[in-house]
Structure 1
């Protein structure tokens, strides 16, 4: 039986439960409920949460996490992990900064930043898929290597001058478009576009079906003809691409780049994917789940600030949500026999 046929059988079994029963059994359903309740609670308990200014900041901030989480979701679906995405954000931002600081155009800086990011993903993918090294070890090492290279490139200096195309860069990363009189951050628009493309690719293309097959049972995927090595290389390059996009956008938003950019981002991104329903053992995860997880994490962070609670508690809340999400998934699998 082919991997495509196996996935279709699984989908068929899920839909036979009935739409409502299937929906309630999904982790993402309960996370969406949590997001809605958090928004309602904060809107009623504070006078600042639902203001256009704060909502603009919230949507822009979760967009950065959401974009990287899309790539991380693809990696986790295959049963892998990428701890180097935060450092890849720095590499992308630093390449953008150095090229534009030298007076060269944005049209050259953007492809160069994407190329540098994809190179990080390619090296990760080859070492993991071809050399057979553990993903945790490879990406942990790459996190250190990439961040070190970022420091070398900038000489650990703050860079805030971006040449003749500076205004264009700032407009892309920090600008917005108006929709019904409300400002919509450009990073949010880009995240939505990438999420739609990723969601379509995961659900309706052979690439996506192969990723789920690898995460479900890699040995079976090999026997059914899935090009496992090529697929693994592609997901690490996709994760690096998403991180590269985020690094470019964050450069335009912040207006400066330091070597601390992206530090700790990988943990936030992994949390978003797990909260959104991805299984660290592989075989499950969606683009929508990655976005919803990113939204919940940013709402928690923003809520703590508005309620006057120390942001040091953010890790406690996020960690608790991860444990609850994983526990719910284990309970669901035990009840359904999956």
Structure 2
């Protein structure tokens, strides 16, 4: 079991409150991602759950039991850090088995757990190698294997892919998601990369200055952002946000529309007019940055990869009103 409940949990460093009181429930078996900009408190919140930081108030419960003052080693959680923290002089087998040896587990059970973890992580052929003989992705899998053998109630990942290049990040992202499907164990994953959040999570927790802005599935946050912060943070490229007369005539202080919901059109259906600026050609898609007289920043439009538009071209645009988001003067969503 791995149900984790935070009840009015807060954290202060001296007079500075970095996490105001918050409530959050993570259900057993969920893959939950904490996401937000640098300094938003996501890693601090993870460390509070792990017991690596003391709470300043509130209660943390694991499977219904108060774990607020329980030492990290006794919480039944396993943490995977950004740094692999492997012992370079030890083999992969000994690195994975290290926490079991420290716990005094008998050798036969150690070997069983290590072999099982290695099979799950495709490390069986590398058990006799040392970390220096492995790629970055393989070293990260060893670090994850060291967590798996503890058979924890939940896994806590603190930006585990930050040290990997782009290709390895994509591969490891898929591997961790597959691992969750196989183990069915609660996982909490911290990242500043909203693409990782969208592709991996069952549930996303969007944090801003220590506060929870919204909790929901990736598609819920994408389709119905609660406020302007979530609207601007979730989605790549980000949502276009428009104020002024265009928003006012739709009964809002700010309207938002995603790049894929603006179509290049002709004069008969033209709503907005603009001039093509920078174009980003990605093969299947092209993102056009359109300059408009009424806006200081370009409007981003997503089109097919075969659309022929060039810098300086004058174009007509038609937004899909059914997919337009409206926000009030406080930045909250208007339904």
Q: What is the TM-score normalised by the length of structure 2?
A: 0.20
Rg larger for: 2
Identify the structure with the greater helix proportion: 1
Identify the structure with the greater strand proportion: 2
Q: What is the TM-score normalised by the length of structure 1?
A: 0.20
